[in-house]
């Protein structure tokens, strides 16, 4: 898996070959970063926290809270009076990510820690459960609307089999649907990817804006899906684009 995770050219080839009329000169992230238990190149960023607004999710055990305390996330823009209109709706137990450069915002559960994976735009993961994570991939596109690539089912099958999970894993698409927020179309897919030693239950949301193709993916170990699914749906549904 290390070779796959560190190969942006492989991701580019898989992604561009998945859809008609490929767009040239794409600098894309590496393949399959969120479907492995132990990514090979993680750079953990941790510093002493000073924000009093972070409140732990009520179902976090003490160890998780202790590990989460003292962490701040350098790439997360703190909300101000000027940026609040662009932010995902704040929610207890979640932290807002606001990326003004690429024009997107979303929520992730308190206690997840930011890590750096080569080629990924953003990655946050649980400090105890490695399969509980969220990642954002951003690549250029000449398309204006996600529907130009096909239906939710078509894109879901393509991304699930060729981009979001290694070819060695058995995948199954559970649901693919379309939603509209402020005139912008988003596709959301739910799928499972089965590896020899674990099964990951995942959600992805895909959209196009600012001349870019965005994919946010979050998930958890199948054994923890029932406990985590409401939080993961909150993450996916909070992902929104704005003009960068």
Q: What is the pLDDT of residue 25?
A: 33
Query: How high does pLDDT run on average in the chain?
Result: 75
- % of the chain with per-residue pLDDT over 90: 60
- % of the chain with per-residue pLDDT over 70: 64
Per-residue pLDDT, averaged over 214-242, amounts to 97
Per-residue pLDDT, averaged over 194-215, amounts to 97
Question: Which of 86-100, 141-155, 174-188, 194-208 has the weakest average pLDDT?
Answer: 86-100
SS3 68: helix
pLDDT digits over 6-41, tens only?
A: 334 334 444 444 443 333 333 333 344 444 444 333
Q: What is the pLDDT of residue 89?
A: 57
What is the spatial distance between Cα 48 and Cα 65, in angstroms, rounded to a whole number?
14
Per-residue pLDDT, averaged over 200-228, amounts to 98
pLDDT digits over 118-171, tens only?
A: 888 999 999 999 999 999 999 999 999 999 999 999 999 999 999 999 999 999
The torsion defined by the Cα of 28, 34, 39 and 41, in degrees rounded to 10, comes to 30
Yes or no: say if 33 and 5 are a contact pair by the CB < 8 Å rule: yes
Per-residue pLDDT, averaged over 100-126, amounts to 95
Domain architecture of the chain: domains with CATH: 2-241 (3.40.1000.10)
Whether the pLDDT of residue 5 is over 50: the answer is: no
CA distances from 65 to 53, 89, 109 (A): 14, 23, 12
The phi, psi pair for 71, rounded to 5°, reads: -100, 135
Whether the pLDDT of residue 236 is over 90: the answer is: yes
Rounded to a whole number of angstroms, the distance between the first and last alpha carbons of the chain is: 34
pLDDT digits over 40-98, tens only?
A: 333 333 333 333 333 334 444 444 443 333 333 333 443 433 444 444 557 899 999 99
Confidence of residue 102 (pLDDT cuts 50, 70, 90): very high
Q: What is the pLDDT of residue 173?
A: 97
Q: What is the pLDDT of residue 91?
A: 85
Closest CA to 219 of 66, 77, 93, 112: 112
The whole-model pTM stands at: 0.70
What is the spatial distance between Cα 9 and Cα 13, in angstroms, rounded to a whole number?
6
């Amino acid at each position: 898996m290390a070779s796959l995770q560190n190969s942006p050219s492989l991701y580019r080839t898989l992604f561009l070959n998945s859809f008609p009329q490929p767009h040239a000169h794409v600098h894309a992230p590496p393949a399959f970063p969120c479907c492995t238990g132990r990514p090979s190149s993680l750079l953990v960023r941790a510093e002493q926290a000073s924000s009093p607004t972070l409140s732990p999710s009520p179902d976090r055990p003490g160890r998780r809270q202790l590990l989460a305390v003292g962490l701040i996330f350098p790439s997360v823009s703190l909300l101000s009076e000027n940026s609040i209109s662009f932010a995902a709706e704040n929610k207890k137990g979640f932290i807002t990510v606001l990326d003004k450069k690429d024009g997107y915002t979303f929520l992730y559960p308190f206690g997840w820690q930011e890590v750096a994976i080569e080629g990924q735009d953003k990655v946050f993961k649980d400090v105890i459960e490695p399969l509980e994570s969220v990642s954002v991939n951003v690549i250029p596109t000449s398309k204006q609307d996600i529907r130009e690539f096909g239906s939710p089912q078509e894109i879901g099958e393509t991304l699930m089999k060729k981009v979001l999970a290694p070819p060695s894993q058995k995948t199954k698409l559970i649901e693919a649907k379309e939603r509209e927020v402020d005139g912008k179309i988003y596709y959301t897919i739910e799928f499972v990817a089965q590896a020899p030693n674990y099964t990951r239950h995942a959600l992805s949301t895909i959209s196009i804006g600012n001349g870019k193709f965005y994919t946010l993916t979050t998930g958890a170990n199948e054994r923890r899906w029932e406990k985590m699914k409401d939080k993961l749906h909150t993450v996916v549904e909070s992902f929104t684009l704005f003009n960068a």
